[in-house]
Amino acid sequence: MNILVAGGSGFLGHPLCTALVDGGHGVTVLSRRPERVRSAPEVELLAWDPAHSGPDSAWVQRLREMDAVINLAGENLAGGGPLPSRWSPGAKAKLRTSRLQSTRVVVQALGSTPPERRPHVMINASAIGYYGDRGDEIMTEASSAGTDFLATLCADWEAAAVEAEPLGVRVVRLRTGVVLDRGGMAADLLTLASWLGVGGRLGSGRQWWSWIHRADVIGLILHALHTEPLHGAFNAVGPAPRRMADFPRVLGQLLTRPSFMPAPSFALRLAFGEVADTLLLASQRVLPNLAEETGYEFHYATLEQALQAIVTSQPGVPWPKLPVRKVRR
């Protein structure tokens, strides 16, 4: 297939494009600054600006030669640094604009493309933040949306993508959980805390974190591309969500470091504001029902397997050299 990827240079986009090329697909990446993008020689780079795109834009013309579109574009929810950034009114506006504008522009471009040349599938990023803070409730793709800022953002984001369905495009709304791998905020933050000897639970530690290894996010996107019956909401989470307190405990065992010092909820709220409640303390027990029903086999089905793979992999960004031992659940 020929595949257009918006947001193809980030934490998910770069390895996704590599996997697509390795699978024999033609890949075109849309970027605001293509000269700064590190990509394989086989990947075509095109400049785009969602705020100033028209039917004559080069990327819109290229869209007419595509079989599929994957839209991962959007500002980083956590700010892109080693620690989460607070959500100021301006930051919230950027989070909304970067997602809704890019999705609407892609859908408009699909609408301006003749039906016989229109891509037949669009995979649009979303997040399990859609569900809000739900305690111990088990959630599937059929569960309702929450009411906080992130839940509302995800619902509006998905609604913008659904506008492509009347055009005859199969739309998959990829609700991604806590993505674990080197270079991701969750794994790097937990590992740094463990290395410093202050690894411990965040808040009560009783909140559910629906995690997934980055390799399985890529795997699920490829699965969605090739599984024709799959459409609508699609939870990109592992099959076994865990309590937050399990993360530092398992990582501490792997790195042979202590994991007993908690970060109280009030301290997290003081440091990170609304971000603490939404990204760190919210409880979301989400299951990947559609992935399992359509036959996807997870590379990392347990938290122990995922964290073991991460701490023993070759780092792109150096981590401390510490003894690592295997942990079995």
181 contacts 191 by C-beta, under 8 angstroms: no
Within-domain flag for 306: no
CB atoms within 10 A of CB 54: 10
What's the CATH code of the domain at 14?
A: 3.40.50.720
Sheet with 121-127, strands from edge to edge, namely: 44-47, 26-31, 2-6, 68-71, 121-127, 170-176, 232-236
Rounded Cα distance, 67 and 69, in Å: 7
304 contacts 249 by C-beta, under 8 angstroms: no
User: SS3 of 20, please?
Assistant: helix
Rounded Cα distance, 288 and 268, in Å: 29
209 contacts 247 by C-beta, under 8 angstroms: yes
Q: Please list the residues that pair with 47 across neighbouring strands.
A: 31
Q: Among the residues of 48-88, which ranges form H helices?
A: 58-63
- The C-alpha angle with vertex 240 and arms to 239 and 242, in degrees rounded to 5, equals 150
Within-domain flag for 7: yes
| Total-model pTM | 0.91
Rounded Cα distance, 157 and 176, in Å: 13
Tokens representing 299?
């590379």
Tokens representing 222?
């490829």
Backbone angles phi, psi at 46, to 5 degrees: -130, 140
Taking each helix axis as running N to C, give the angle between helix 246-255 and helix 185-195, from 0 to 180 degrees, rounded to the nearest 10. 60
Within-domain flag for 80: yes
Its domain, for residue 49, covers 2-180+211-239+287-298
Closest CA to 89 of 268, 266, 274: 274
Counting the structural domains of the chain, the total is 1
Rounded Cα distance, 115 and 110, in Å: 9
- Following DSSP, what letter does each residue of 136-157 receive, concatenated? T-EE-TTSPP--SHHHHHHHHH
Within-domain flag for 315: no
pLDDT tens across the length of the chain (329 residues): 999 999 887 889 989 999 999 999 999 999 887 666 666 668 888 988 888 877 778 899 999 999 999 999 999 888 776 678 899 999 999 999 999 999 999 999 999 999 999 999 999 999 999 999 999 999 999 999 999 999 999 999 999 999 999 999 999 999 999 999 987 767 766 766 665 555 678 899 999 999 999 999 999 999 999 999 999 999 999 999 999 999 988 888 887 777 777 889 998 899 899 999 999 999 999 999 999 999 999 999 999 999 999 888 755 444 444 344 444 44
Within-domain flag for 262: no
Within-domain flag for 188: no
Rounded Cα distance, 200 and 259, in Å: 5
